[in-house]
Structure 1
């Protein structure tokens, strides 16, 4: 199979995150509007080219007030920086379906190199004859590295919002 373009199947894809809240639990959220462009030969991923674009305004933590605060200049500043982007810079096989995926992650105008533990599965034919492959990526970033430093001290010590953000990405692609 030669390198070709792959289309994101949004109905089988998701981007979620979690962050420590009050040092006792995690708040989970997702981004509901995102896209990915991929050019790849799944049989030989060495030349894979991939970019993911996330619309900050689509953040959803199941709390409208919190979502509004996250879009504000205290956090993502969605009006000035409406998108988060990830552009692949390296993909290293760890054997089988396991990879180390490195890319430039840009949040609120700050770009940092981030490495995610990644599984790439496929290609496989679905029941309708479409060729598909899947990507599952997990990792963590420090929000302060991207200038997202707003916080509030707790009277019992510690802070309202943790610095570590856990990221979970599941994407399914159809050959275009």
Structure 2
């Protein structure tokens, strides 16, 4: 007897902190219950037969409502309520997520000679994402090994590691500390944070898309993200350049950073 309901996100995750309120046709509240750790609501007390309005609310989500019919047995099955994040966008369930370098990439693109692009990537990096119940307080912390730059050309990589550019002997790590996140569209977010590069820390925003979650072959759960940012080299005192002809430099003044990230739910990566 009583009410039965499930509360889920669009990705199928349980909303553990949901509150279910039931009112009769006069608007009088007859029942209030909290979802359990599985996002389930189960009450035992029977309800008088008839139609009721069921409203589900949860912090950070838009409310949902439906009509439920209580049978003569005093039972109503309200089904599954799917809650959308406020603003119409989703992120993974709250908690820690560990970046998996083996299935992620950190890349940078620079203009070369004004007519083409040079693509590079960093092969050494790691980090952690913390999705907060209050999404605005979510965090990300990442560390990149500067000497792991790889553009596919050993001579060019050596120059990029030199004092003309990254100066990896003096500044072996590039770090990013994200301190908050705000919605930027129906499926996009802006990550606010600080990038420390070449010994200089500057505010840098990431344009983030959340691509979804799913199980992996090792019994874990993974979330995927794509993010981009544009950096001005002069903001980080990386001023080396070579003018090849009037008005054209060998290397562009800006870098486009492209991140494809897989993160595993939990504090650490699965053992190989």
Please give the TM-score of this superposition, normalised by the length of structure 1.
0.91
Question: How do residues 1-176 of structure 1 correspond to structure 2 at under 5 angstroms?
Answer: 3-41=94-132, 45-126=135-216, 129-176=219-266
Deviations 1:114-170 (A, max 9, x none): 112101233433355422212210121101110000001113531111011011001
CA distance in 1, matches of 2:109, 2:261: 18
CA distance in 1, matches of 2:223, 2:245: 49
How far is the alpha carbon of 1:96 from its aligned partner? 3.8
Higher helix share: 1
Q: What number of residue pairs does the alignment pair up?
A: 175
CA distance in 1, matches of 2:205, 2:180: 9
Higher RCO (C-alpha 8 Å, min separation 6): 1
Contact 2:142 2:176 in 1 (8 A): yes
Higher Rg: 2
Contact 2:137 2:180 in 1 (8 A): no
Runs of 5+ consecutive residues of structure 1 not aligned to the other structure = none
CA distance in 1, matches of 2:151, 2:217: 34
SS at match of 1:17: strand
Q: Which moved more, 1:131-140 or 1:92-101?
A: 92-101
CA distance in 2, matches of 1:148, 1:170: 25
CA distance in 1, matches of 2:155, 2:217: 43
Deviations 1:80-120 (A, max 9, x none): 00011110022101244310112101101111111121012
CA distance in 1, matches of 2:249, 2:114: 7
